[in-house]
C-alpha cells in the first residue's frame, strides 16, 4: 500500500516532516526481511534517520512517484498496490499510474484512518497532556482576571492561547473561539473587537496541541450575576451534555448517542436551536471519525477519543455550549477535560 497522507504517515512511522511517502509491504508481517520503504527529500534525511530508523530510506523530492517507480522496477516485488484515494488528486493519480503502469492500483479510502480510530496508551497520554494544558490555561485566565468587562474577544483569545503555550502546548489545536454577548449565539464565531460587558455570556471553544494530538473543550461563563433565562439555558445544556456523556458506551450507535443528548433539549422546546452534531472524534486531527450525529455511521469502540458538545443558541441574545473530550473505556469513559461544568459567574 502506498501511503501519501502526511498524518497517516506520522501515525505509522512517527515522521513529522512536510514531504514523505510510505510503501508498506504485507510480507513484512511474516518475514524477517524488511521490504517497506520510506521516502522523503534531502531536507529531512537526518530527521528521517532519527524518526524512522527501522525502514529502508529513499531520498527523492517526488516521494510518491519515486515509490511508484520502485514498484514498477520490481524491487518491491508486488503488483497489486493500494493507494489512499481519499487523499490523491486527479493529477496525483495520473502521476502514479504513469510511474507504475504495470501495477494494479486499488483504492483504499480510510484504511489507515480506521486504525487511527482506536488510540493506544501513548496516544491517550498525549491527549491527556493536551487537555491538561488547556485546563490549566483557562484556570489561570480566570484566576488572574483575564476574563473581565472591558477586554475584547481578540484579547481574551490571544491571552488564552499564550497561556496554553506556557503550559506545554506546541500551539492551539485550532483558531480559538471567544464569543461574548449576542456573538455567543453563533456556534463558530470568530473573535473580533467586541468588548466584553456585564451580563454577557462568554463562550470559549479552544484546545491545545501536544505531540501532534489535539484537545477540544468549550466552557461558557457569565460576566456578573446571571439572569434567569441564562440559568435556564445553561442548566438545560448541562443536562444534555451529562446525558450525552452517559450514553458514550462501547457498542453504542453514534446516532443513538446524539439522540439521547438531543432529546433533552428538544423536550424543553429548544430542539431547533441545537444547530450541530453532538460531537466528533479527535486525535491527530481536531475533527476525525467517529461523528456523533444524526448523519454519523457506526458504533463506538473502546479506545476511541470523542467530544460531547451540545449547545443552545438564541439569536440576538446569547448561547451556551459545554464540551468535553473523553476516552471510551470498557466501562465508564475517561474524562480528559476537567474544568468545572458548573455555571461560573465572574
CATH number reported for the structural domain that contains residue 145 in this entry: 3.90.230.10
Residue 269's alpha-carbon distances to 94, 211, 232, 245, 263, in angstroms, are 53, 42, 12, 21, 10
Classified as helix, coil or strand, 166 is helix
Q: Is the residue at 134 inside a domain? A: yes
CB 278 within 8 A of CB 310: yes
**DSSP string spanning 78-141?**
--EEEE-TTT--HHHHHHHHHH-TTSEEEE-TTHHHHHHTS--HHHHHHHHHHHHHHHHHHHHH
Q: Which residues pair with 32 in a beta bridge?
A: none
Please provide residue 13's backbone torsions phi and psi, each rounded to the nearest 5 degrees.
-125, -25
Q: Choose the final residue of a domain: 115, 146, 173.
A: 115
Chain centroid, CA 304 distance in Å: 12
Please provide residue 158's backbone torsions phi and psi, each rounded to the nearest 5 degrees.
-65, -35
* Same-domain pairing of 85 and 233: no
* Same-domain pairing of 136 and 18: no
Q: Choose the final residue of a domain: 59, 88, 115.
A: 115
* Same-domain pairing of 108 and 130: no
Question: Count of alpha carbons within 13 Å of 304, Cβ hemisphere only?
Answer: 26
DSSP state of 189: P
Interstrand relation of 21-23 and 104-107 (parallel, antiparallel or unpaired): unpaired
* Same-domain pairing of 262 and 145: yes
pLDDT, tens digit (0-9, with 9 covering 90-100), for 235-294:
999 999 999 999 999 999 999 999 999 999 999 999 999 999 999 999 999 999 999 999
Interstrand relation of 177-180 and 171-172 (parallel, antiparallel or unpaired): unpaired
pLDDT at residue 341, rounded to an integer: 98
Give the range of the structural domain holding residue 100, as residue numbers without chain letter: 2-115
Q: Choose the final residue of a domain: 59, 91, 115.
A: 115
For residue 295, count other CB atoms closer than 10 A to its CB.
9
Written as tens digits, the pLDDT of the chain (346 aa) is 999 999 999 999 999 999 999 999 877 765 556 789 999 999 999 999 999 999 999 999 999 999 999 888 875 556 789 999 999 999 989 998 898 888 899 999 999 999 999 999 999 999 999 999 999 999 999 999 999 999 999 999 999 999 999 999 999 999 999 999 999 999 999 999 999 999 999 999 999 999 999 999 999 999 999 999 999 999 999 999 999 999 999 999 999 999 999 999 999 999 999 999 999 999 999 999 999 999 999 999 999 999 999 999 999 999 999 999 999 999 999 999 999 999 999 9
- Quote the CA–CA distance of 125 and 119 in Å, as a whole number: 10
H or E stretch covering 65: helix 63-73
- Nearest residue to 341 via CA among 253, 250, 245, 256: 245
* Same-domain pairing of 77 and 8: yes
* Same-domain pairing of 187 and 242: yes
* Same-domain pairing of 39 and 178: no
* Same-domain pairing of 193 and 294: yes
Per the listing, cell 509491504 goes with 25
* Same-domain pairing of 156 and 302: yes
Number of domain units in the chain: 2
pTM here is: 0.94
Amino acid at each position: 500500500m502506498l501511503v501519501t497522507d502526511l498524518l497517516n504517515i506520522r501515525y505509522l512511522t512517527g515522521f513529522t516532516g512536510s514531504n514523505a511517502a510510505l510503501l508498506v509491504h504485507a510480507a513484512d508481517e511474516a518475514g524477517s526481511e524488511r521490504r517497506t520503504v520510506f521516502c522523503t527529500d534531502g531536507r529531512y534525511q537526518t530527521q528521517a534517520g532519527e524518526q524512522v530508523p527501522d525502514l529502508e530510506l529513499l531520498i527523492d523530492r517526488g516521494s510518491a512517484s519515486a515509490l511508484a517507480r520502485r514498484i514498477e522496477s520490481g524491487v518491491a516485488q508486488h503488483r497489486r498496490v493500494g493507494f489512499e484515494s481519499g487523499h490523491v488528486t486527479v493529477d496525483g493519480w495520473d502521476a502514479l499510474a504513469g510511474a507504475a503502469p504495470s501495477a494494479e492500483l486499488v483504492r483504499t479510502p480510510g484504511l489507515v484512518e480506521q486504525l487511527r480510530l482506536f488510540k493506544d496508551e501513548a496516544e491517550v497520554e498525549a491527549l491527556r497532556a493536551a487537555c491538561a494544558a488547556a485546563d490549566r490555561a483557562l484556570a489561570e485566565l480566570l484566576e488572574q482576571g483575564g476574563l473581565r468587562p472591558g477586554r475584547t474577544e481578540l484579547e481574551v483569545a490571544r491571552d488564552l492561547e499564550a497561556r496554553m503555550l506556557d503550559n506545554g502546548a506546541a500551539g492551539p489545536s485550532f483558531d480559538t473561539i471567544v464569543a461574548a454577548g449576542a456573538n455567543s449565539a453563533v456556534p463558530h464565531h470568530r473573535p473580533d473587537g467586541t468588548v466584553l460587558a456585564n451580563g454577557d455570556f462568554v463562550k470559549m471553544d479552544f484546545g491545545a496541541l501536544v505531540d501532534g494530538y489535539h484537545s477540544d473543550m468549550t466552557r461558557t461563563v457569565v460576566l456578573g450575576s446571571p439572569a434567569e433565562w441564562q440559568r435556564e439555558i445553561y442548566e438545560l445544556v448541562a443536562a444534555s451534555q451529562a446525558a450525552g456523556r452517559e450514553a458514550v458506551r462501547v457498542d453504542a450507535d453514534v446516532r443513538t448517542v446524539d439522540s439521547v443528548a438531543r432529546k433533552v433539549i428538544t423536550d424543553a422546546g429548544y430542539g431547533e436551536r441545537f444547530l450541530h452534531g453532538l460531537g466528533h472524534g479527535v486525535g491527530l486531527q481536531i475533527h476525525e471519525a467517529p461523528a456523533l450525529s444524526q448523519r454519523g455511521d457506526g458504533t463506538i469502540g473502546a479506545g476511541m477519543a470523542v467530544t460531547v458538545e451540545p449547545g443552545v443558541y438564541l439569536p440576538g441574545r446569547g448561547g451556551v455550549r459545554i464540551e468535553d473530550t473523553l476516552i471510551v473505556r470498557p466501562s465508564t469513559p475517561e474524562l480528559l477535560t476537567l474544568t468545572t461544568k458548573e455555571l461560573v459567574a465572574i
